[in-house]
Amino acid sequence: MPSCQTGATLSNGHDQATDEKVARLLEMLRQVKDFRADRGKVYDLHFVLAVALIATLAGATGYRQIGRRAADLPQGLLTQLGAPYDHFSGAHATPSESTIREVLTNVDADLLDLVTCAWIHECATRDQSGDLVIALDGKVLRGAWTDENKQVKLFAAMTHAEGTVVAQTLVPDDTNEITQVDNLVKNLRHTRGRTIATADAAHTQFRTAILLRKRGIDYVLTVKGNQPKLHQDIFRRCLPLLQETPEHEEEERSHGRVRRWSIWTTDATGFRFPFARTIAIIRREEFDLEGNRTTKEYAFIVSSLRGERATPAAIHTHVRLHWGIENRLHYIRDTAWREDACHASRGNGPRNLATIRNLALGLLRLHGVRKIKETLEHIAADRQRALHYLAT
C-alpha cells in the first residue's frame, strides 16, 4: 500500500518535511472556492476545513463536537495550519461552532468532493501499477433529511486495494443511485482500459454497462432476478460447469466456521448484454468444524473483462472485495463517527460532513491504519498527533 511514513514514530514535534506535506494538504483545500464576502471574514476557508478535518480525526461526530475539539487544538498545530493570531488574547484563534457550521452548510459540496477525492486518489495510487479497481455503492444518511422530508443518500466509489473514497455524489430525491453512475465516474481520474468497476445487482443494467465502457471502464456485475432473462441464460450456460472440477477454489477458517468458494468461468458469446465478455458462477459454501455443510448459495457474474484479466481467481477477488465498501466505508463511518445518528440536515451540511469523514478515513488508510476507532481515540488524547496523518 503506498504510504509515506507508514512506520514513523508519532511525536509532539515536527520537522520541515512534515511542514511541507501539511502545506500540500492545505494547498489542496485552497482549491475550494470561498462563498463568503471578504468583509468581516476572520478565517480563511481552507483553515476552517482543515480544523474540521483534524477535529474529525479526533473523533468528532457533528458540528458541536467539531467546535469543541477545535477550541482545544494546541497552539503549535494552529501555527502550522496558518491560524490568525489574536493580539488581545496573545494566542492563535480557532473558529467557533457557528462558523464551522456555516462553512460546512454552505460550501460547494460538488467542489469539495471533487477536490478532496482527486487528492486522495492521487496519494493512494501514485506508486500503483496495474488495474485500478473501484466499488460503487450508495449509502443513506439515516439521521439527515432534505427539505422535501426525504433522507439524504450519497453514491460513492471506493478503491478495493486502499479502501479510500475517490468519488462521491449526491443522489437527488426524485431518483436513485442507478441514474447517477455517469455523474459519479465523470470526474474520476483513471486510465482508460485499466480501470474496473464492481457493483451489486441493482446496477446490472444495460445503460450502466454502456456508460462505463464509453468512459473506458470495465465492469464486474452480479446478476440476480432484476434481469430475469440474463439470469436464466447464465444459469443454463453455467449449469454444465458445475459437473466439472472448479477452476479456482479458496477456503477460509474463522469464527468456528469454514468457508469455501468454488469458481467457474466461461465466455459470454451470444449473451445479450452490452460488452459482456465473460460470465462466471461462484459457489459459496459454509461448514462447521466437523465438516458438515450448513449453507450453500450461488452467485452469477457478468463482466466485460477477458483473457488474463478475467481468470477465475481475478473474478472472485473482484466480487469478494466489492463488499468491502460496506465494511470498510459505510460501517466505519457509522461506528467511528456515528454518521446515522448525526441530524445535520441544512444545506450541504450532511454531504460535506460525510466528505470530511471520507478524507479523514482516507488519510488513516494511507498510513496503513486498520484500527480506526482506536486511532481516533489516540489522536483525541493529543491533537498534535494528527500531524502524522496529515502528512502524505
pLDDT tens-digit map of 293-325: 999 999 999 999 999 999 999 999 999 999 889
Of 332, 318, 307, the closest CA to residue 134 belongs to: 318
pLDDT at 10: 41
Cell of 198: 464492481
Between β-strands 195-199 and 217-223, what pairing exists: parallel, antiparallel or unpaired? parallel
Alpha-carbon torsion 155, 156, 160, 162, what sign? negative
Shared domain check, 205 and 320? yes
Does residue 2 belong to any structural domain of this protein?
no
Shared domain check, 358 and 319? no
Cell of 247: 477452476
Shared domain check, 287 and 354? no
Which residues pair with residue 286 across a beta bridge? 259, 295
Task: Measure the CA dihedral 226/204/320/360, to 10°.
Answer: -120
* Contact yes or no for 191/198 (Cβ under 8 A): no
Of 193, 180, 178, the closest CA to residue 275 belongs to: 193
pLDDT-based confidence at residue 11 (cuts at 50, 70, 90): very low
Does residue 27 belong to any structural domain of this protein?
yes
pLDDT of residue 129 exceeding 50, the answer is yes
| Number of domains making up the chain | 2
Shared domain check, 361 and 324? no
Alpha-carbon torsion 19, 22, 24, 30, what sign? negative
CATH number for position 265: 3.90.350.10
pLDDT of residue 149 exceeding 70, the answer is no
pLDDT at 174: 86
Shared domain check, 360 and 323? no
Does residue 121 belong to any structural domain of this protein?
no
Shared domain check, 306 and 356? no
Shared domain check, 306 and 368? no
Residue type, 254: S
**Domain hosting residue 378, numbered range:** 16-108+348-390
pLDDT at 147: 66
Does residue 340 belong to any structural domain of this protein?
no
Does residue 11 belong to any structural domain of this protein?
no
Backbone angles phi, psi at 263, to 5 degrees: -130, 135
Does residue 4 belong to any structural domain of this protein?
no
pLDDT tens sequence across 74-128: 999 999 999 999 888 899 999 999 999 999 999 999 999 999 999 999 999 877 7
Does residue 341 belong to any structural domain of this protein?
no
pLDDT tens sequence across 319-364: 999 988 999 999 999 999 999 999 888 999 999 999 999 999 999 9
Shared domain check, 185 and 290? yes
Shared domain check, 299 and 367? no
pLDDT tens sequence across 268-290: 988 899 999 999 999 999 999 88
Give the integer Cα–Cα distance in Å for 207 and 137.
Answer: 16
Beta strands in the chain (DSSP E): 85-86, 91-92, 132-145, 151-159, 165-170, 195-199, 217-223, 248-254, 257-267, 278-288, 293-303
Shared domain check, 227 and 197? yes
Residue type, 328: R
pLDDT-based confidence at residue 2 (cuts at 50, 70, 90): very low
Give the three-class secondary structure for 278: strand
Give the integer Cα–Cα distance in Å for 295 and 284.
Answer: 8
Does residue 336 belong to any structural domain of this protein?
no
Give the integer Cα–Cα distance in Å for 357 and 85.
Answer: 28
Alpha-carbon torsion 188, 154, 304, 313, what sign? positive
The DSSP secondary structure of 328-374, one letter per residue, reads IIIHHHHHHS-GGG----STTHHHHHHHHHHHHHHHHHHTT---HHH
pLDDT of residue 1 exceeding 70, the answer is no
Q: Per-residue pLDDT averaged across 205-230, rounded?
A: 95
Shared domain check, 385 and 256? no
Give the integer Cα–Cα distance in Å for 223 and 237.
Answer: 14
Between β-strands 195-199 and 132-145, what pairing exists: parallel, antiparallel or unpaired? parallel
* Contact yes or no for 249/232 (Cβ under 8 A): no
Give the three-class secondary structure for 84: coil
Shared domain check, 232 and 298? yes
Beta strands in 55-97 (DSSP E): 85-86, 91-92
Cell of 196: 474496473
* Contact yes or no for 50/29 (Cβ under 8 A): yes
Give the integer Cα–Cα distance in Å for 11 and 385.
Answer: 7
